[in-house]
Amino acid sequence: MKNYLAKLQLLYKVSKEMSSKPRVLSEDGLLSRCKQLAPSLSQDKHKGQAGRIGVFGGSLEYTGAPYYAAITSLKVGADLVYVFCMKDAATVIKSYSPELIVLPYLDHAQAKVKIEPWLERLHVVLIGPGLGRDESTFMVIRQVINLCKKLRKPLVIDADGLFLIANHIELIRDYPAKLILTPNIMEFSRLVGNTDAEKYRENSSDLFDICPNLTILRKGPQDIIFDSKVEAKVTSSGSGRRSGGQGDLLAGTVATFLAWSLQKEPPTENEKTHDDRALLAAFGGCKLVRECNKLAFSKLGRSMTALDMTHEIHTVFDYYFENKKNNVGHIFD
């Protein structure tokens, strides 16, 4: 009887370990699927169908970050991008580009009333680039997240938005739509309360219990993307140049890819396939930005900045996501 019970306990332990072990997705397989995400360019489409993205960020001190996130989202292929910022940042951001719709509502006395009608039309909301850490701003962002929850809006949270979440984790409890967090290693440690970089999945278990719809993109030498069931790594080398703004480029790119991926039908209840559309979007964003970094660096070396990377979006997108071979293939290969 004891031997029988011991065998049962062993089988239970093995079964539990197997069920908790994530399925690792290949880079080639994910890239192949990413090529199917971009909506076709057709005369029958209407403005806005390829993505309406809202970027929440932009303060007196930080105007570049929301611009980089928004303009990258637009250049990757979103039709319309709205920037919700502080009044002091609005004119500056507008001067960077006439293509962005800039709304100075974050410090408005009736911020929630002003913002809510715009939220309803957005496909994806990005919170964090250039947000700052002013408590009055965080108060508005908490209201925005609760509105997004009510409206079931897909959400990407980056930068100072992650600082808010780390201190108010209840904001994402049972979030009803896809949610992507994009921390670097230090931000990730703050989120999970642990500095052991290798045990990223074990350290994230509480986050997945709080928010089953969560996907984490942990940025680093290799970007690691994972949810409660599957994971992937992006190993493209990029370059050693790390100028300010590259994380904002990534956040904007992921937001556009997420809008596209969610236009695809999810797996049905009869299918055993896990709904990894958020992970797919994060992978596409990582791949595109790393290759833009590599191509821009090959031309400019140490003088390369984040703005230079945005100029390579078209070439990289054609090569990796449209199967259009060009004269820079030797750099990628």
Residue 48 marked as a ligand binder: no
Residue 43 marked as a ligand binder: no
Neighbour count for residue 18 (Cβ, 10 Å): 8
Residue 189 marked as a ligand binder: yes
Residue 204 marked as a ligand binder: no
Asked whether the beta carbons of 180 and 145 are under 8 A apart, the reply is: no
Residue 73 marked as a ligand binder: no
Residue 44 marked as a ligand binder: no
Residue 190 marked as a ligand binder: yes
Asked whether the beta carbons of 202 and 254 are under 8 A apart, the reply is: no
Q: How far apart are CA 119 and CA 52, in angstroms?
A: 10
Residue 193 marked as a ligand binder: no
Residue 246 marked as a ligand binder: yes
Query: Do the strands 155-157 and 179-181 form a parallel or antiparallel pair, or are they unpaired?
Result: parallel
Q: Which residues lie across from 302 on neighbouring strands?
A: none
Residue 27 marked as a ligand binder: no
In 3D, which of 77, 19, 28 has the Cα closest to residue 48? 77
Residue 248 marked as a ligand binder: yes
Residue 221 marked as a ligand binder: yes
Residue 130 marked as a ligand binder: yes
Residues 6+ apart with CB under 8 A from 158: 69, 126, 127, 128, 129, 181, 182, 247, 248, 250, 251
Residue 290 marked as a ligand binder: no
Reduced DSSP (H G I as helix, E B as strand, rest coil) percent helix, strand, coil of the chain, to 5: 50, 10, 35
Residue 243 marked as a ligand binder: yes
Residue 95 marked as a ligand binder: no
Cα 182–Cα 187–Cα 190 angle in degrees, nearest 5: 130
Neighbour count for residue 263 (Cβ, 10 Å): 14
Residue 49 marked as a ligand binder: no
Residue 239 marked as a ligand binder: yes
Numbered residues of the known binding site? 130, 184-190, 219-223, 238-248
Q: Residue ranges for the binding site for ATP?
A: 219-223, 238-247
Annotated binding site for (6S)-NADPHX: 130, 184-190, 248
